[in-house]
Every structure is written in structure tokens, then in C-alpha cells.
Chain A
Amino acid sequence: MSAIPKPVMRLIEELSRLPGVGPKTASRLTYFLLRSPAEQVVSLAEAIRQVKERTVRCSICFNIADTSPCSICSDPNRDPTQICVVEEPLDVLALERTRQYHGLYHVLEGAISPVEGIGPGELRIRELLDRLRNTTVHEVVLATNPNLEGEATAMYIAQQISPLGIRVTRLARGLPVGADLEYADAVTLAQALEGRREV
């Protein structure tokens, strides 16, 4: 016999499925919600429901959007000859924050990870190649993460694109703003040296 009412137990279980939320945090959140005004809780529940019901995957770039095609894919001011390939929808947000990129995107929904059994077939790579064959694209910018999985993904895609004769570029690597040279690793520093520029 548990002292915790069933609905409370259920919410704790549901919340502890979220990333970074353990059973303790889940209980704390649950009891916080129990103490909150009813309208706030309903509003949260409604928001959770709508996040699934009112969003779609853009049929062109696979970003999360409220319409398909998404607002970026259907924007006439964006340059359709450039496609930037990213791993996750959050990466699109990060790139948009730069306001430097005006082309389109393609979200892979992950990166190649052989030990987790995520191969090219699990990602939206075939869709990317179809897109490249059917539209005029001059440049593909590979913006996967600069870690091993991201590199594997970028190299695989680059090799798949090469027969199409489209220019493929990779985001530059080097030192982040605010970094300390003495803590830089040799690989990053070497790449920063390779890519040095006239000032």
C-alpha cells in the first residue's frame, strides 16, 4: 500500500521520463504543480498537448514547424541554392541566431553513430540527396557537430554528394570566442592554424 495517490504517482512516473529528470526531481515538480493554481496547471497541460498536435515536420527540410513546408522553406527571400545540413532542429535555431545565413536547411534528425546502431539509413540523407537532384543547389554547407559522430556524418554525406558535382563546404573549426589558448587541444589549435586569416 502506497501513501501516494495514484494520479500523483502517475505524474511522477511520466515526469521522470524526461531527460535530466530523476525520480527526486519528478516528485518535487509534481508537488509543486499540486500547490500551483489550477489554471496554470491546465495551461501547462494544454501546452504539452499542443506541442505534439499543432506541430509538424516540414516535408522539405524536416525541421519542426507549425506548417509544412515550414516558414523558412516557403520564404521567397531565402536563397534556395544553398542548403545547410544540421543534425537537430535546435541547430537551426542556433544558426538563425547568427543572422548570417540566408539559405535553406536540412535537418538530419541525428548523426551517424555506429556503436548505437545509427547508420545513414536512420537519418534523412536519402531525402537530402533527392532534394539535391530535384532542385538547383549550388552549395551544401555541412554543419554537423564537430565531434566524431558529426565528422562521420559529414564525410559520409560529402562522399554521397560528390557524384552530383555540387560544392560541399564544412563549417570552419577553431577557437571559440572567449576561449583560452592554453586550454585548447592540439586538434582544434592545428585547425585554427590551418584556417588562419589575414587581418
Chain B
Amino acid sequence: MPHRERIYRTEAIVLKHSNFGEADRLLTVYTPYLGKLRLLAKGIRKPTSRKAGHLESFTRTQLLVARGRNLDIITQAQMIEPYVALRRNLWRMSHAYYVGELVDRFSEEHSENQSLYRLLADVLGWICESPNLALTMRFFELRMLGLVGYRPQLFHCLQCNAPLEPVINCFSAEEGGALCPRCGEGERGAKPIPLGALKVLRYMQTHDYAECTALQLHQATHTTLEEILQDYLVYILERRLKSVEFLNILRRSGLTTTAK
């Protein structure tokens, strides 16, 4: 840690919370310069808490934190961005949960990653407005993977290093990217990736979000992209993501409206 003052100031996005003691909460937050932190917010389950509203999940907030013996304690909080729209719609909200779970799983405490912080702040804003949440999620997954060191290789075959031809290539979660049809054939766990899907992944890897929102994709491509990236994420994490289950429940119940 760079300095040992008793109090420090940081911006943070609240990823999740759990109840702690009588009226306290243990928050997991993501910060630009300190990475992920676990902080104690005292008394915020009381209705008169001055901090409670400023420390809800998925708000961007300015914190004043006092160093504690085990856990650091939040002494002041001032909300910067509440991301209101994702609180008013269940489908958008459940995507925020998904993003929160991914960032939590892919980050380490006290490990700075400013770009990931910026991406997280951006994606929460996009979730509030996006007319195509599937596209937003794929963009986020791909970019996040890049920022935490798992950027998939999509231009050259990972085994023979030859540039990929415009045919049906393979994607291997184990190798971390694409394989040409010849190398992919014998590879366990490698799945064919249609050219369209591969091109979309490449486009998203090399263009910014505003440009990517212009993409019009078939439902089949959406499904393929989701499967490929989900496989890859689960392979790296070695566990399923719990919030995906909830997204699937909503999908099955047809509760996927983003109106209001």
C-alpha cells in the first residue's frame, strides 16, 4: 500500500453486500486505484442511516474510508451516479447482477485496474439504456477478458499460427481463442465457430462500444456468441455464474421486457 494514513478517499462502485452484525453490512466494492475492496459499512441497515442510500449495490459513490484493524470502515459516502434505470427494470437489473458477479470473480483485492473500473462504470450506464442487452453483455465480456489478461486470440490459429481463413474455424476455451479447422479438428473441447460470429467478436475486440451498437445480428448469432463466451468464462473461472441462472429463469418466464 502506498501510504499509511488513517483515512483515505476513493471513488467506488458497489458490487455486492452481505449483512454483518446487528445493523452493518460488508460491502464488496470496486475502485479505480485500489482494485476490489471489502469494506465495512456500519449501521446502514437502520432506516436513519446517512450512508445507506449512497451505498446501494451498483451505485458509483465517493467514499471516505478509515483503516481498521481487520476491515476498513466507510465513514462517509456521497453518491455520484445512481444508475436509476437499472433499478426500475428487472431485466436490466439482472444484467447488472451478472456484470457485478463477473467483475467480482475476475478481480483481486488491492489490485489496481483502472481500465476495468472505467469499463464497469461504462457498462452500468449502458445497461440503463441499451436497447440490445445481449450485444452490450457480449461487448462487456470480451473487453473485460482483455483487461484481466484473458483476451481471446481471434485472428491467428493458436496452434499453427496461420492467419485464419474465412471458413468455419474453431474456438477452444482451453487454448484461449480460435483454431483453424485443421488444428481444431483433433482438439478436445474445441467448438466450430461460424464465420459471422467470429467476425462479430473481432469487430467488438477492435471497435468501441458506440460503433458496436450499430451491429444488427441474427438471433442465431447472438446465441452462438453467448454460448462461446459463456463457455470460455466458465472454463477460466472453473465455476458457473450464479446470476446466469437467474437470467435464464427470467427468460423462461418471458420477463425480458426493458420497457419502463
The yes or no answer to A148 lying at the interface (CB within 8 A) is: yes
Given A115-B242, A117-B245, A159-B90, A187 contacting B48 (CB threshold 8 A): no
Contact of B53 among A156, A159, A160, A187 (CB under 8 A): A187
- How near does chain A come to B38, taking the closest CB pair, in angstroms? 14
The yes or no answer to A39 lying at the interface (CB within 8 A) is: no
The yes or no answer to B31 lying at the interface (CB within 8 A) is: no
Interface of B is mostly: helix
The yes or no answer to B30 lying at the interface (CB within 8 A) is: no
Residues of A within 8 A of B242 (CB): 114-117
Given A114-B98, A120-B249, A183 contacting B90 (CB threshold 8 A): no
- Segment 25-48 of B: residues with Cβ below 8 Å from A: 47-48
- How near does chain B come to A154, taking the closest CB pair, in angstroms? 9
The 0/1 profile, CB within 8 Å of A marked 1, for residues 235-253 of chain B is 0000000110111011001
Find the B residue at minimum CB distance from A121.
B249
The 0/1 profile, CB within 8 Å of A marked 1, for residues 102-120 of chain B is 0010000000000000000
A151 touching B97, Cβ below 8 Å: no
The yes or no answer to B93 lying at the interface (CB within 8 A) is: yes
CA gap between A117 and B239 in the complex, in Å: 13
A147 touching B243, Cβ below 8 Å: no
- How near does chain B come to A104, taking the closest CB pair, in angstroms? 24
The number of chain A residues with a CB under 8 A from chain B is 30
The yes or no answer to A195 lying at the interface (CB within 8 A) is: no
The 0/1 profile, CB within 8 Å of A marked 1, for residues 46-70 of chain B is 0110101110111000000000000
The yes or no answer to B22 lying at the interface (CB within 8 A) is: yes
CA gap between A112 and B249 in the complex, in Å: 12
The yes or no answer to A188 lying at the interface (CB within 8 A) is: yes
Find the A residue at minimum CB distance from B248.
A119
Given A156-B255, A178-B48, A114 contacting B101 (CB threshold 8 A): yes
| 16 A-B contacts (beta carbon < 8 Å) | A114-B242, A114-B246, A114-B247, A115-B16, A115-B97, A119-B246, A121-B249, A148-B87, A155-B93, A156-B250, A156-B255, A159-B255, A183-B50, A186-B82, A187-B87, A188-B53
Residues of B that sit less than 8 Å from A by CB: 16, 20-22, 47-48, 50, 52-54, 56-58, 79, 82, 84, 87, 89-90, 93-94, 97-98, 100-101, 104, 242-243, 245-247, 249-250, 253, 255
Q: Which 5 A-B pairs give the minimum distances between C-beta atoms?
A: A185-B53, A114-B246, A183-B50, A114-B243, A155-B90
